[in-house]
Structure 1
Amino acid sequence: MKNWVLILGFLWTVFSCGGQQAAFKQEKNQITFDIQSASVNKLRLSLITEDIVKVEATKNADFDAQESLIEINHGADFSDYSVKEAADGWEVKTKTLIVKVSTSGEVAYFNADGTAIISEKARNFEPMQVDGVSAYELRQQFNSPKQEALYGLGQHQADEMNYKGKNEELFQYNTKVSIPFVMSTQKYGVLWDNYSLTRFGDPRPYAEIDQFKLFDKEGKEGGLTATYGDLKKKDHVYAVRSESTIDYENLETVEKFPAGVNFDQAIITWEGELEADQSGEFKFLCYYAGYTKLWIDGELQFHKWRTAWNPSVAKFSVDMEKGKRRHIKLEWLPDGGISYIGLKALSPVDQQEQQDLSFYSEMGQDIRYYFMKGDNMDEVISHYRTVTGKAQVMPKWSMGFWQSRERYKTQEELLEALREFRKRQIPIDNIVLDWSYWPQDAWGSHDFDLDRFPDISAMTDEIHKNHARVMISVWPKFYETTENFKAFDQNGWMYRRAIDDQVKDWIAHGYVGSFYDAYAEGARKLFWKQIQDKLYTKGFDAWWMDASEPDILSNASMQYRKDLMNPTALGPSTQYFNAFALMNAKGIYEGQREVNNDDRVFILTRSGFAGLQNYGAVTWSGDIGTRWEDMKAQISAGINFAMSGLPYWTMDVGGFCVEKRYEVAKEGSEDLKEWRELNARWFQFGTFVPLFRVHGQYPFREVYNIAPESHPAYKTILNYNKLRYRLMPYIYSLAGWTYTKDYTIMRGLAMDFTEDTNVYNIGDQYMFGPSIMVAPVHEYKTRAREVYFPQAAGWYDAYTGKKYGAGQAENIDAPYEKMPLFVKAGSILPVGPEIQYTDEKPEAPITLLVYAGEDASFDLYEDEGTNYDYEKGKHTNISIQWSEKNKQLTIGKRAGAYDTMVQERQFNIVLVDGNKSVNLLNPKWQVNKEVMYKGDEIIVKL
Structure 2
Amino acid sequence: MNTPDNQSITSTKRGGAPFARGRLSLLTAGVALACTLTVPMFASAEPVPTPDKDLSAQQAQKLEKERRAQLAADDAKAQRATNPGEEVPLDKSNLQNLKVTKTTATSDGVKLEMGSFVGLVRFVSADVVKVTLQAAGQPAYQSVAVVKNRINKVSIKRSKSRSTYTMKTKGVTVRISLSKFGVTMLDKKGNVINADDSRFGSGYEDGKPYVFKKTDKSEAFYGFGEQTKGLNKRGDSIGMWNTDHYAYEADAKYIYTSIPFFTGLKSNGAYGIFFDNTHHSMWEMASESPDYYYFYANGGELNYYFINGPKMGDVLDRYTQLTGRYQQPPEWSLGWEQSHWGYSPGSKIVDVAKGYRERKIPLDAMNMDIDYMDGWRVFTWGKNWGDQNKIDDQLESMGVKTIAINDPGVKKESGYWMSDEGTAKGYWATNPDGSNYEGAVWPGTAYFPDFSRADVREWWANQMPKLTDKGVDGIWLDMNEPADFIGPNHTLPLEVEFSNGTKQHTEVHNIYGFWNTVATYEGLKKVKPNERAFVFSRDMYAGSQRYAALWSGDNVSNWDHLALTLPLNMNVGLSGVPHVGNDIGGFVGDTTPELFARWIESGSFAPFARVHYDNNFQPDQQCQEPWCLGSEVEDIARKYVSLRYSLLPYTNTAFHNSTRDGRPVQQALVYQFQNDPAVRNISDQFMWGDSIMVAPVVTKGATSRQVYLPTGKDWIDWWTGEKHAGGQTITKDAPLDVMPIYVAAGSVIPTREVQQHTGQNDFTNVAFNVFLGNGKATGTLYEDDGKTEAYKKGGYNTYRINVSTTANGSVSLSTKKTHAGYSSKLKTYDVVLRGDLPVFGGAAGAKVNPSEASINADASSKGVKITKVDAKKGTVTVRVPISAANVTIAFEGK
Give the TM-score normalised by structure 2: 0.78
Contact 1:436 1:443 (C-alpha < 8 Å) held by counterparts: no
Looking at structure 2, the residues matched to 792 and 916 of structure 1 have their Cα atoms a distance apart, in angstroms, of: 27
Per the alignment, residue 583 of structure 2 pairs with 652
Matched, 1:453 2:382: no
1:621 counterpart residue number = 552
2-structure distance, mates of 1:459, 1:614: 31
Correspondence for 2:454: 521
On the 8 A contact 2:578/2:666 being kept in 1, the answer is yes
* Counterpart position of 1:72: 147
Give the one of 366, 374, 379 matched to 2:314: 379
Q: How many angstroms does 1:457 deviate by?
A: 2.5
Of residues 393, 404, 419, the one that matches 2:339 is: 404
- Which segments of 5 or more consecutive residues in structure 2 lack a partner in the other structure? 1-97, 245-254, 616-620, 838-846, 851-867
Shift of 1:574: 1.2
1:492 aligned residue: 426
- Any idea what the Cα deviations from partners look like across 1:318-371, whole Å, max 9, x if unmatched? xxxxxxxxxxxxxxxxxxxxxxxxxxxxxx844323xx2x2111111x210111
Q: Which of the residues 608, 632, 645 maps onto 1:691?
A: 608
1:26 matches 2:106? yes
* Cα deviation, residue 461, structure 1: 2.9
Q: Report 1:286-365 matches (<5 A).
A: 349-353=288-292, 356=293, 358-364=294-300
Q: Does 1:931 align with 2:880?
A: yes
Correspondence 1:552-631 to 2 at 5 A: 552-553=484-485, 556-557=488-489, 561-563=493-495, 571-615=503-547, 617-631=548-562
2:563 to 625, 628, 632: 632
Alpha-carbon distance, 1:112 to partner: 1.6
- Any conservation in 1 of the 2:210–2:297 contact (CA below 8 Å)? yes
What secondary structure sits across from 1:141 in the alignment? Answer: strand
Please point out which of 403, 407, 413 is paired with 1:471. 403
Q: Once the two structures are superposed, what CA deviation does each residue of 1:156-204 show, in whole Å capped at 9, x if it has no partner? A: 23x221112321111112343211010122321111100011111179x
**2:278 matches 1:195:** yes
In structure 1, distance between residues paired with 2:828 and 2:623: 38
Aligned to 2:862: none
Q: Equivalent residue for 1:253? A: none
Find out whether 1:168 has 2:168 as its counterpart: no
Aligned to 1:216: none
Q: Deviations over 1:256-283 (max 9, x none)?
A: xxxxxxxxxxxxxxxxxxxxxxxxxxxx
Q: Which residue is 2:30 aligned to?
A: none
Q: Match for residue 870 of structure 1?
A: 791
Per the alignment, residue 912 of structure 1 pairs with 835
**CA displacement 1:735-760 (0-9 Å, x = unmatched):** 11111343210111101111111111
Look up the match of 1:894.
817
Three-state SS of the structure 1 residue aligned to 2:583 is: coil
Mark the CA change 1:392 to 1:426 in structure 2 (over 3 Å): closer, same or farther. Answer: same
Range that drifts further, 382-391 or 879-888: 879-888
Query: Pick from 596, 604, 627: which aligns with 1:679?
Result: 596
Q: Which runs of 5+ in 1 are unaligned?
A: 1-17, 129-135, 204-347, 663-673
Amino acid at match of 1:933: I
User: Residue in 2 aligned with 1:94?
Assistant: 169
Task: Render the CA deviation track for 1:597-650: whole Å, top value 9, x for unaligned.
Answer: 2110111100111111111x1111100011111111111111111111111101
The answer for the alignment partner of 1:263 in structure 2 is: none
Bigger shift: residues 888-897 or 759-768: 888-897
User: Using the alignment, how far apart are the partners of 1:783 and 1:811 within structure 2?
Assistant: 10
Once residues 765 and 348 of structure 2 are traced to their aligned partners in structure 1, the CA distance between those partners, rounded to angstroms, is: 37
Change (3 A) 1:35 1:184: same
Residues in 2 aligned to 1:41 and 1:807: alpha-carbon distance in whole angstroms: 52
**Is residue 781 of structure 1 aligned with residue 701 of structure 2?**
yes
Query: Do structure 1's residue 879 and structure 2's residue 800 form an aligned pair?
Result: yes
Q: Equivalent residue of 1:461, what SS?
A: helix
Equivalent position SS for 1:35 = strand
Residue 413 (structure 1) aligned with residue 348 (structure 2):
yes
CA displacement at 1:786 relative to structure 2: 1.7
Question: What CA RMSD, in Å, does the superposition of the two structures yield over aligned residues?
Answer: 2.9
User: Counterparts of 2:641 and 2:500 in 1: how far apart (Å)?
Assistant: 44
Q: 1:557 offset after TM fit, Å?
A: 2.8
Taking the aligned partners of 1:937 and 1:84, their CA distance within structure 2 comes to: 56
SS class of match (1:43): strand
Looking at secondary structure, tell me which structure has more strand per residue.
1
Task: State the secondary structure of the residue aligned to 1:908.
Answer: strand
Q: 1:714 aligned to 2:634?
A: yes
Assess if the C-alpha contact under 8 Å between 2:835 and 2:875 holds in 1: no
Matched residues in 2 for 1:541 and 1:83: separation?
54
* 1:432 Cα deviation after fit: 0.8
Q: Which amino acid aligns with 2:262?
A: V
User: Which range moves more in the overlay, 691-700 or 636-645?
Assistant: 691-700
Matched with 1:208 is none
Contact 1:405 1:700 in 2 (8 A): no
Shift, 1:519, TM fit: 1.1
- Partner Cα distance (2:132, 2:237) in 1: 24
Q: Give how far 1:803 is off.
A: 1.6
Q: SS of the counterpart of 2:507?
A: coil
Between the aligned residues of both structures, percent identity stands at 24
In the alignment, residue 657 of structure 1 is paired with which amino acid?
V
- 891-900 or 572-581, which deviates more: 891-900
Say if 1:901 and 1:361 are closer, same or farther in 2 by CA, change over 3 A: same
Structure-2 separation of matches of 1:20 and 1:931? 69
What code does the residue aligned with 1:810 have?
I
Q: How does 1:82-231 map to 2 (within 5 A)?
A: 82-86=157-161, 88-103=163-178, 104-121=180-197, 122-126=200-204, 136-157=207-228, 159-174=229-244, 175-185=255-265, 186-201=269-284
- Is the contact made by 1:111 and 1:117 (CA closer than 8 Å) also made in structure 2? yes
TM-score, reference length from structure 1: 0.74
- Counterpart of 1:800 in structure 2 is 720
- Contact 2:196–2:214 (8 Å) recurs in 1: yes
Distance 2:565 2:743 in 1: 22
Alpha-carbon distance between aligned partners in 2 of 1:77 and 1:844, rounded to the nearest angstrom: 41
3-state SS of paired residue (2:131): strand
Q: Distance in 2 between matches of 1:910 and 1:861?
A: 21
Q: 1:35 to 1:704 in 2, by over 3 A?
A: closer
Q: Cα deviation per residue 1:12-32 (whole Å; 9 max; x = unaligned)?
A: xxxxxx9985221313xx323
The residue type equivalent to 1:535 in the other structure is: L
Count of aligned residue pairs for this structure pair: 739
1:542 to 469, 474, 483: 474
Q: In structure 2, what is the equivalent of residue 261 of structure 1?
A: none
Judge conservation of contact 1:195–1:575 (CA < 8 Å) in 2: yes
Counterparts of 1:589 and 1:85, CA distance in 2: 49
Aligned mates of 1:66, 1:787 — CA distance in 2: 47
Deviation at 1:577, TM superposition (A): 2.2
Change (3 A) 1:500 1:151: same
Could you give the per-residue CA deviations for residues 500-537 of structure 1, whole angstroms, max 9, x where no partner exists?
Answer: 78644466xxx2113212211111111111123x1122
User: Take 1:869 and 1:448, find their aligned partners in 2: how far apart are those partners?
Assistant: 33
Q: 1:501 to 1:593 in 2, by over 3 A?
A: closer
Query: How far apart, CA to CA, are the structure 1 residues paired with 2:159 and 2:498?
Result: 46
Work out which of the residue numbers 462, 468, 473 in structure 1 matches 2:394: 462
Q: What letter corresponds to residue 173 of structure 2 in structure 1?
A: I
Output the CA distance in 1 between the equivalents of 2:426 and 2:487: 26
For residues 177 and 884 of structure 1, what CA distance do their matches in structure 2 show? 49
- Matched to 2:399, the amino acid is H
